[in-house]
């Protein structure tokens, strides 16, 4: 198939690109023109890279030309900062995604895969683990925008017959994730360990999330691209909640290092616990997470150490 990966030079996108190339698909990457494409070095000679802004309708339309399946990984905001400027979040993510869908219809794209956020669209959980049928009451603009794009996908299916699959992700981590960022606790904490810096925790460290390795996510994305799945929306994660304190404990076991930890005020956008019910994707596709937290952190740590040599 001819596949377009929007945001394909990033952490998640580059792993998916590698997997698609490995399965013999023709791959086009769309990402910002000034972003590093180092993550794509392993398949540079066999993929097409298009530089452009997601808000530029013409650039997006050109990238969609001749595409069978498009994977939408683009997000211009992060959960925390999104509450500081909700209008920007809507203007860039929601409106940008609507224009993308309009161009996908115009270009005859057969299917769209959208990566949504299982960590934010549900809001404060009423039950754990959280099933796909749980009420969606996000408490940050990022989650509201993700949910809005999900609804527009359903609308475009209703109006135009556009095929789509939505994956609501837990907290993916692993090789190629940026360690100098405000998102991605595993990568950020390991980066600070490597640089011998202290680690800051919002709240008391008991905030728990559903962490799972990029290898498992890539398998789920590949399933969504290649298969006609019976449902539209799937949770994808580990099915387990792990607190920040437990993450640090596992990192200490793997690395032999114990960082200085500084606690600061809790954030209003953080739900206390997020843990996804992944039974549906398991029953309908056979997908199950295979990489344990300790093994995944060890692989990420080894990759980070190799990067600084």
Whole-Å CA distances, 265 to 79, 201, 269: 17, 8, 12
Q: Which residues are CB-contacts of 41 (< 8 A; sequence separation ≥ 6)?
A: none
User: According to the model, what pLDDT value does residue 271 have?
Assistant: 87
Q: Encode pLDDT of 89-130 as tens digits.
A: 999 999 999 999 999 999 999 999 999 999 999 999 999 999
Distance CA 291, CA 132 (A): 23
pLDDT of 79 over the 90 cut: no
Instruction: Please name each of the domains of the chain with its CATH number.
Output: 2-172+212-236 (3.40.50.720), 173-209+239-274+291-307 (3.90.25.10)
To the nearest 10 degrees (0 to 180), the angle between helices 214-226 and 11-22 is 60
Distance CA 36, CA 9 (A): 7
User: According to the model, what pLDDT value does residue 267 have?
Assistant: 83
Active site residue 152: no
- Given a contact cutoff of 8 angstroms between Cβ atoms, the answer to whether 112 and 72 are in contact is yes
pLDDT of 51 over the 60 cut: yes
User: According to the model, what pLDDT value does residue 81 have?
Assistant: 76
Q: Encode pLDDT of 140-178 as tens digits.
A: 999 999 999 999 999 999 999 999 999 999 999 999 999
Catalytic residue among 122, 142, 173, 211: 142
- Given a contact cutoff of 8 angstroms between Cβ atoms, the answer to whether 60 and 99 are in contact is yes
Find where tokens 């959208």 sit: 114
Strands 199-202 and 2-6, bridge-based pairing: unpaired
Specify the 3-state DSSP secondary structure of 37. coil
Whole-Å CA distances, 97 to 75, 86, 161, 206, 289: 10, 16, 17, 35, 29
Query: Alpha helices of 161-198 — where are they, by DSSP H?
Result: 185-194
Give the other-Cβ count within 10 Å of 270's Cβ.
17
User: According to the model, what pLDDT value does residue 195 have?
Assistant: 93
Output the CA angle 91-97-101, nearest 5 degrees: 145
**Among 253-257, 263-267, 286-290, whose mean pLDDT is lowest?**
263-267
Average pLDDT over residues 257-278: 90
| Backbone angle region of 104, left / alpha / beta, with phi > 0 → left and psi within -120 to 50 → alpha | alpha
Q: Encode pLDDT of 11-33 as tens digits.
A: 999 999 999 999 999 999 999 99
């Amino acid at each position: 198939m001819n596949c377009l990966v929007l945001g394909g030079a990033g952490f998640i996108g580059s792993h998916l690109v590698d997997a698609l190339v490995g399965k013999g698909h023709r791959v086009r990457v769309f990402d910002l023109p000034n972003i590093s494409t180092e993550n794509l070095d392993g398949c540079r000679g066999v993929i097409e890279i298009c530089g452009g802004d997601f808000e530029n309708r013409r650039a997006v339309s050109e990238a969609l030309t001749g595409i069978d399946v498009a994977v939408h990984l683009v997000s211009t905001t992060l959960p925390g900062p999104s509450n500081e400027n909700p209008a920007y979040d809507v203007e860039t993510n929601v409106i940008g995604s609507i224009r993308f869908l309009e161009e996908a219809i115009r270009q005859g794209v057969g299917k769209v895969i959208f990566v949504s956020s299982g960590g934010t669209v549900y809001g404060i959980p009423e039950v754990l683990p959280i099933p796909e049928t749980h009420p969606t009451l996000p408490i940050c603009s990022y989650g509201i925008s993700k949910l809005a794009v999900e609804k527009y996908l359903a609308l475009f299916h209703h109006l135009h017959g556009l095929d789509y699959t939505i994956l609501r992700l837990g907290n993916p981590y692993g090789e190629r994730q940026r360690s100098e960022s405000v998102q991605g606790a595993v990568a950020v904490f390991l980066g600070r360990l490597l640089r011998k810096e202290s680690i800051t925790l919002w709240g008391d460290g008991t905030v728990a999330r559903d962490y799972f390795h990029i290898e498992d996510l890539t398998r789920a994305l590949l399933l969504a691209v290649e298969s006609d799945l019976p449902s539209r929306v799937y949770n994808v994660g580990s099915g387990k909640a792990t607190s920040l304190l437990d993450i640090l404990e596992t990192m200490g076991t793997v690395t032999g290092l114990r960082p200085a930890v500084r606690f600061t005020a809790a954030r209003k956008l953080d739900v206390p616990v997020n843990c996804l019910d992944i039974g549906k994707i398991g029953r309908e596709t056979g997908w199950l997470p295979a990489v344990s937290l300790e093994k995944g952190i060890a692989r990420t740590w080894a990759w980070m150490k190799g990067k600084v040599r």
